[in-house]
Amino acid sequence: MLRSKLKPFFGLFLFAVTTAAVAQNGRFQQAVDYKMDVQMDVKTNRYTGIQKLVYTNNSPDTLDRVFYHLYYNAFQPGSMMDVRSRTIADPDKRVADRISKLAPDEIGYLHAKTLTMNGKPVNFKEVETILEVSLPEPILPNTSVTFDMEFEGQVPVQIRRSGRDSEEGVRYSMSQWYPKMANYDEQGWHSNPYIGREFYGIWGNYEVKITIDKSYVIGGTGYLQNPNEIGHGYQDEGVKVPAPKGNTLTWHFVAPQVHDFMWGADNKYQHDKVKMDNGITVHHFFIPGPKTSENWEKLKEYTPKAISYLSEHFGQYPYKQFSVVQGGDGGMEYAMSTLITGERSLASLVGVMVHELAHSWYHGVLASNESLYPWMDEGFTSYASSLTMANIFQESASPHRGSYGGYYRLVSSGLEEPMSTHSDHYHTNRAYSSAAYSKGAVFMAQLGYVIGEEARDRGILRYFNTWKFKHPNVNDLVRIMEKESGLELDWYKEYFVYTTKTIDYGIKEVKANGGNTEITLERIGLMPMPVDLVITYKDGSQESIYLPLVIMRGEKPQEKGQPTRIHTEAWPWTNLSKTLILTKPLETIKSVEIDPTKRMADVQQENNLVKF
């Protein structure tokens, strides 16, 4: 771990009120404004740039060091990413040992050549993917400084997320390409070396100028400021674009309130624009051909549909543009855009677009620290994209069955680690991905069982509207759900996020007791949960008995479309069994079942149903 020597806050007299406010919740956000001017050489695949970064320290701390990410340095033999990718028990096939075999003209690099703060030279040291910077004078709380940097880079051959000359022939997938200030928050610096996993950026305004061979088309983050000079499908209708004077074009983009900037570039891209009724413009960039053209033409219908559905159910998409760009090695989310591979079946193409688009809500706008809470990004994105796909394709089957299945397989693999594990530090790729994607989605789907779907759905919108552009953590989410439901949920977070304890309830016995029926339930799993017990009678009618946990301090309301609740009785988690008396004769009962909706992630469901 890198150390950060922080001086105690000394503006005590001037900022007494501020400190009191800060001391109470400790939350603040740093701010960045980037201006970059980049020259790309498409023959050498190298680029140079200048970067002016206005950095605002909104923390109560005095900073005497800062850290930049230099992600491209990961693509060099012997890097931490190389070693990690080769030595992990279950390597990612896209990476495996490929980094170790890169020749000097195939590696990636990103170097700072010069760096000043407020015009004064600073000391900086490149430690692989992190630039450690000692400041000539400290940055005081509530002040801004300006860093000026000259940098140079080489685009690695496409291995993971970014690079050149992808398998599908896309020349440049430019993500993680510029020196990027690491985030500093109430938990300190987050200068994680890049080993191929997650990201955490700072909100800010980007102004980026890219000079590149005039035959190239660029798509990605940001609004193009000079469309009528550039053309390539960006120009306003009817505009005659003048021929460029030299061999290059300089593309001028601005992107307000984003925490990253990606661009894809190719001289074969087809660029399609779709204007939605709500003013959002959707851009698609792909290399035309027999494996792409037909499906990408159809995609133009689905991307706007998905934006509309997600905006209605998960919060309004806040930008005026979204770009789907062919590139990368699968699908990856970026601000206002995504890079996806393009030679896919229509279902797969729509599926990956929807998933990466849904990230705009959780990666793009809520932007929890993905390293610490990968499941709050990937899991909730999977949850949202499953619902979006079910809506678009009018599927009736349970949209989250894949997520539940992934979680159950993780449990039975014996490889599960708690969801609170830092994403870089999971022991296996499998444990990371099943926790982040599957269990994270189950967290949200199952929450509908715990507090009721209506409260959960209201909570999802309230969470977005309360925490957009603020980097929420798990407590922030759970507090919103507590407020929306009126129930205490700390136990749900503690068990499901911080442990690998699992849920298993069972029906131990159903027997006649006089003219009544006696039902005994048992808790076998270590994680307690509220129980919905449904009784189906021989006449086909159904009723339910609801057993909330005492520690919830309340109950979820009767859910629409679920059997009428005839009895509610809290079950203390300390008690391993619970006996209920149902005032109906045993002969009238067809079956007794725990949670027929299967929203509770019970890892052993054979004991959930008793039939007569």
Question: Which stretches of the chain bind Zn ion, using CB under 5 A?
Answer: 378
Residue closer to Zn ion (CB basis): 378 or 602: 378
Give the separation between CA 481 and CA 530, rounded to whole angstroms: 16
Q: How far is the CB of 282 from Zn ion (least distance, A)?
A: 19
Helix, strand and coil in the chain, % to nearest 5: 30, 30, 40
Residue 318, SS3 per DSSP: coil
Adjacent-strand bridge partners of 125: 132
Residue closer to Zn ion (CB basis): 271 or 313: 313
DSSP code of residue 4: -
Residue of minimal CB distance from Zn ion?
Answer: 378
Give the separation between CA 218 and CA 212, rounded to whole angstroms: 9
User: Nearest-CA neighbor of 222 among 234, 240, 238?
Assistant: 234
**Please, are residues 71 and 35 in contact by the beta-carbon 8 Å criterion?**
no
Residue closer to Zn ion (CB basis): 363 or 556: 363
Residue closer to Zn ion (CB basis): 198 or 484: 198
Q: How far is the CB of 501 from Zn ion (least distance, A)?
A: 26
Q: How far is the CB of 584 from Zn ion (least distance, A)?
A: 48
Q: How far is the CB of 405 from Zn ion (least distance, A)?
A: 18
Q: How far is the CB of 332 from Zn ion (least distance, A)?
A: 8
Residue closer to Zn ion (CB basis): 251 or 380: 380
For residue 52, which amino acid is it? K
Torsion region of 50: left, alpha or beta (phi above 0 gives left; psi -120 to 50 gives alpha): beta
Residue 341, SS3 per DSSP: coil
Residue closer to Zn ion (CB basis): 63 or 444: 444
Segment holding 300, helix H or strand E: helix 293-314
Adjacent-strand bridge partners of 41: 46
CA distances from 273 to 232, 547, 595 (A): 11, 53, 47
Sole residue written with tokens 């009785």: 569
Residue closer to Zn ion (CB basis): 108 or 351: 351
Q: How far is the CB of 432 from Zn ion (least distance, A)?
A: 12
Angle CA(550)–CA(555)–CA(558) in degrees, nearest 5? 150
The edge-to-edge listing of strands for the beta sheet with 542-547 is 564-568, 542-547, 531-537, 589-594, 609-611
**Please, are residues 221 and 253 in contact by the beta-carbon 8 Å criterion?**
yes
Q: How far is the CB of 324 from Zn ion (least distance, A)?
A: 15
Q: How far is the CB of 402 from Zn ion (least distance, A)?
A: 14
Q: How far is the CB of 289 from Zn ion (least distance, A)?
A: 26
Residue closer to Zn ion (CB basis): 378 or 416: 378
Give the separation between CA 226 and CA 365, rounded to whole angstroms: 26
Residue closer to Zn ion (CB basis): 378 or 559: 378
Residue closer to Zn ion (CB basis): 378 or 593: 378
Residue closer to Zn ion (CB basis): 198 or 378: 378
Residue closer to Zn ion (CB basis): 61 or 378: 378
Q: How far is the CB of 178 from Zn ion (least distance, A)?
A: 22
Token reading at 12: 């005590």
Q: How far is the CB of 373 from Zn ion (least distance, A)?
A: 13
Residue closer to Zn ion (CB basis): 82 or 378: 378
Angle CA(338)–CA(342)–CA(344) in degrees, nearest 5? 125
Q: How far is the CB of 144 from Zn ion (least distance, A)?
A: 34
Residue closer to Zn ion (CB basis): 326 or 381: 381
**Please, are residues 286 and 328 in contact by the beta-carbon 8 Å criterion?**
no
Give the separation between CA 182 and CA 199, rounded to whole angstroms: 10
Helices first, then strands: H and E counts in the chain: 12, 31
Q: How far is the CB of 301 from Zn ion (least distance, A)?
A: 23
Segment holding 117, helix H or strand E: strand 109-117
Q: How far is the CB of 363 from Zn ion (least distance, A)?
A: 7
Angle of the 346-359 helix axis to the 293-314 helix axis, nearest 10: 40
Q: What is the 3-state secondary structure (H, E, C) of 420-472?
A: CCCHHHCCCHHHHHHHHHHHHHHHHHHHHHHHCHHHHHHHHHHHHHHHCCCCC
Residue closer to Zn ion (CB basis): 333 or 453: 333
Decide the pairing of beta strands 109-117 and 120-121. Answer: antiparallel
Q: How far is the CB of 11 from Zn ion (least distance, A)?
A: 41
Give the separation between CA 485 and CA 462, rounded to whole angstroms: 12
Q: How far is the CB of 378 from Zn ion (least distance, A)?
A: 5
Residue closer to Zn ion (CB basis): 260 or 559: 260
Token reading at 409: 């397989």
Segment holding 254, helix H or strand E: strand 248-258
Residue 144, SS3 per DSSP: strand
Token reading at 441: 């989605």
User: Nearest-CA neighbor of 56 among 27, 33, 23?
Assistant: 33
Adjacent-strand bridge partners of 567: 545
DSSP code of residue 160: B
